[in-house]
Chains A and B, each alone.
Chain A
């Protein structure tokens, strides 16, 4: 959506975006910066019935150069008929009035809530707030990557995170399935090649549909969306800059910062010019070819894992340990498995320079790396260098200082209290930018939703950041919930924890006769608390599906005894957890034999 300002408060609208049609709350700002708020009410009926379809056919068709529509004075959207009726029946007219904002409180702000960042957390919060009839705006803007790549609404998870990575992981798993299938009686030509573009286009098409879905959802929920970069310029005020450089100011009673993170670069010659990050990989318009993945984060290992699964030559350069923060016993097993499946690891080296040998799609790059514990220098040639050494919070260029929001200067993260509130009481934050919290989509969603329910719905439930399950989609998936073994030892002392573990061999892998005793199950129990399970770890197929239910059980305080008395489902991988009997302390064999 672009708005051309011809003069104060007289404007034309071209290229209507869907959310414009329904929420139709447009604010126009005088050049001097004095706010004049107007609300545009379009012919809603026409647009809701025809809008979506027409927009799909081509947005410009709907309202190119539409003259200024009717303007209404400042007013708030009144709850629909059904809602009003319901409130009336429940004899809560006062509440209804309050909900609709028709109380005596002056309208000092443009919005009740402005959310900066349209990712998982921000969108969840915005949509939730809209349920309470709040006037909500979402500002989302994707700063292009150094290579010029950008994407639509939805944030990291949808565009350059969970979704594309799991789909590409699935593509790699299907490569394994092709091999397995021959052993199960399927016959087809010997040579099967993978086509990067077919996969990437399918994945991008799906992402496109999700972007669209988010915009529609915002529109349906009457959340105003602007594809503009939001930054604080003063108390209760943000400046939104769209990609044409048009600036607008908005005020709100409350703000939610949900700007997330972006991949970190190495800061060495050639990194931004020639290397890609996960922000580029999933939409790369050519097969990356021989790839060097720099880093040992889960992003690094997941990407390396699916690239090798698609048949590429992949090397991972690791500075120190794999999957910092995760259980290291599991991390090393993941590394071993990846190595056995064709990934080369260069350990204790860091790149110091990347040079282009030849341009192309992909081109050829020379990587010069230095040992972390000496002066040894190595060189390697790759088609693609993917940097996955970590992510930085997008908090340093959003004017937080102007609003007085403190960040951790070192990490850029925002400290919040247990209600996601920053040091500035009316400014909240959720998602990856939070200090000491988990960088996970469902956590951001949960935190955002619960925050809004507390703010507007009278709820008191706080987001519970404890025992959050997660899964790393490496070729051998890793699901975890609760303490790592190291953390448990540190917290409770080695003598007070009991670790039960076992290897297992998924039935499906027996016929293709592959990877016996690679899958592994481990639980950590607190001996002093009735052997309560405080850590759950599984390496194996569908680890996420397996872990989810156990995470729920951990929430319910499951003990080893309860685990033992639960009947397994035969034959599935998850059943191994109901028959764990070997403790790590005992040193007994954990290799599986028989059912």
Chain B
């Protein structure tokens, strides 16, 4: 009660305009309004509610150009991590079916994959999560508006429902967490009309068939990987390097593995147009920059995975003075996630210079609420954030890439320990382990602090997580060497790394 009273007192001193808006609309005042009900926004809202604050979340999914839309939860739940990892799992199970025969399981051929069964199962699970998020908001007494939000003044948001109904919401603090959406190469004729993106792929009712995935982002490689894994004819077209920003040695091992796994690659090619044939197939024309030639092929599906753009267009940010990076369109924030307008914050994929990862958005959102309402001063630490790319052979990493380490410290001052290893399970299954590789980038001076860890192999995410913590605790190479391995696992090889790149010795692990 006392808290409520104090708040009322404070509000009395506020600007006449806002009081008027409130009086006219009869709407409630919120302590916190979050625009965007994705991972970061929901985490922030729920955390604020824990402190007894009055919180609202606005979420609205603009249908994709192909008309796909989804429920509460944002990219990760609906068109990101969750469905992609499940479809990745479907592909892994395809490999498991092959392995199983070596392990004594008599599976009569043929083995088929049915897209619709998988998609239905994945979509049902995603819908259960949408529902879960709504229930959680309700439980935590967070008001949820299924509306698109636009700033009308620094404390006022105009919410618009699908039906066009308008609601004015005012709030003390506003958090922008609207995320990003896939980009289309608008200069490519037919791109928008005929192409799909990751926003559509997971919601397709029928198999995409022969698919061209354009782009070299992790989204591209992950999608192409699982499409290949479930038996589809899949081609990746990329203009330059794969997995920009990631360690490039690892990136090439990832694509090398995909090639051996059956994914086709059109390297140094870029599309020029997409046309629909009478057969309903899509004819794609592209330039091969190596040969300077123009080539074409037809596909059932063309998917763009050429990057993601922040979703700030409809927010009316200029009006309230929230600064964005004009090049990237992302919102500029300080270490406390505050934008150029002090009581307006931004978290997640929409922020400039932050990793576009669900767990970072969640952590940033929670910490922000704790600082706003919980007398905390802890800032989000964006260093050493681990991540995993769920390509058929997974790639997990934390810390600096080798290139970045060389750039920061100079190649004379870093030591790279590396190993090619063979997962035990691959032996009986007669699987090729050529690309199962790990490396640890350390400072070379006596303490040998670990700067980066990179791992390609099964369950890479599970392997990297704990080491990420170790690196957070400023683990050194000698400390890691004192850690005893768990036998027989892949992760134990990390505790046995002893061949330096500099030595030029064979880094293949032999024996136990």
Contact = CB atoms under 8 A, between A and B. Distances in A.
A336 interface: no
Contact of A186 (B39, B113, B378, B479): B113
Contact of B465 (A217, A445, A558, A568): A568
Interface in B478-492: 479-480, 482-492
Contact of A511 (B103, B125, B465, B485): B125
A573 B486 CA distance: 18
Interface in B458-483: 459, 461-470, 472-475, 479-480, 482-483
Contact of A183 (B121, B387, B469): B121
A551 B483 contact: yes
Nearest to A550: B466
Interface string A548-563: 1111110111100011
Contacts of A167: 103, 424-425, 427-428
Interface in B112-143: 112-119, 121-122, 125, 129, 132-133, 136
Contacts of B475: 552-553, 555-556
A470 B113 CA distance: 37
Interface string A249-269: 000000000000000000000
Contacts of A192: 105-107
A392 to B, nearest CB: 22
Interface in B76-104: 76-77, 81-82, 85-86, 89-90, 93-94, 96-97, 99-100, 102-104
A572 B461 contact: yes
B132 to A, nearest CB: 4
A14 interface: no
Interface residues of A, number: 90
Contacts of A571: 81-82, 85
Contacts of B473: 553, 556-558, 562
B318 interface: no
Nearest to A311: B105
Contact of B97 (A188, A198, A549, A552): A188
A78 B382 CA distance: 55
A575 interface: yes
B510 interface: yes
A199 B388 CA distance: 32
A51 to B, nearest CB: 18
A85 B486 CA distance: 39
A549 B469 contact: yes
Interface stretch (A94-102, A356-364, A436-444, A484-492): A436-444
Interface string A186-211: 11110011111111101100100010
A571 B390 CA distance: 10
Contacts of B114: 185-187
B102 A568 contact: no
Contact of A441 (B122, B494, B512): B512
B357 interface: yes
Contacts of A70: none
Interface in A203-238: 203, 206, 210, 213-214, 217
A468 B486 CA distance: 8
Main secondary structure on A side of the interface with B? helix
B112 A548 contact: no
Contacts of A507: 82, 85-86, 89
A508 B86 contact: yes
B484 A574 contact: no
Contact of A545 (B81, B86, B388, B462): B462
B96 A185 contact: no
A559 to B, nearest CB: 8
A566 B362 CA distance: 12
Nearest to A171: B103
B14 interface: no
B472 A570 contact: no
A163 B73 CA distance: 43
A558 to B, nearest CB: 5
Nearest to A189: B108
B386 interface: yes
A545 B487 CA distance: 10
Given A170-B103, A545-B489, A556-B479, A573 B96 contact: no
B208 interface: no
A189 B108 CA distance: 6
Contacts of A313: none
B480 A552 contact: yes
A206 B462 contact: no
A162 B425 CA distance: 12
Given A195-B106, A548-B494, A442 B485 contact: yes
A549 B466 contact: yes
B428 A203 contact: yes
Contacts of A557: 473
Contact of B428 (A170, A196, A567, A575): A170
A17 interface: no
B469 A511 contact: no
Contact of B112 (A188, A202, A206): A188
A195 B121 CA distance: 31
B73 to A, nearest CB: 8
A174 B462 CA distance: 19
Of A185, A203, A572, most B-chain CB atoms within 10 Å: A185
18 contacts: A157-B512, A184-B89, A192-B105, A193-B105, A544-B492, A545-B490, A548-B483, A548-B489, A549-B467, A551-B486, A552-B480, A562-B469, A569-B387, A569-B396, A571-B82, A572-B461, A577-B466, A593-B132
Interface of A: 120, 154, 157-158, 162-163, 166-167, 170-171, 174-175, 177-178, 180-181, 183-189, 192-200, 202-203, 206, 210, 213-214, 217, 310, 440-443, 445-446, 461, 464, 468-471, 479, 507-508, 510-511, 542, 544-553, 555-558, 562-563, 565-575, 577-578, 593-595
Given A555-B480, A556-B475, 5 more contacts: A163-B424, A187-B112, A549-B494, A551-B483, A567-B363
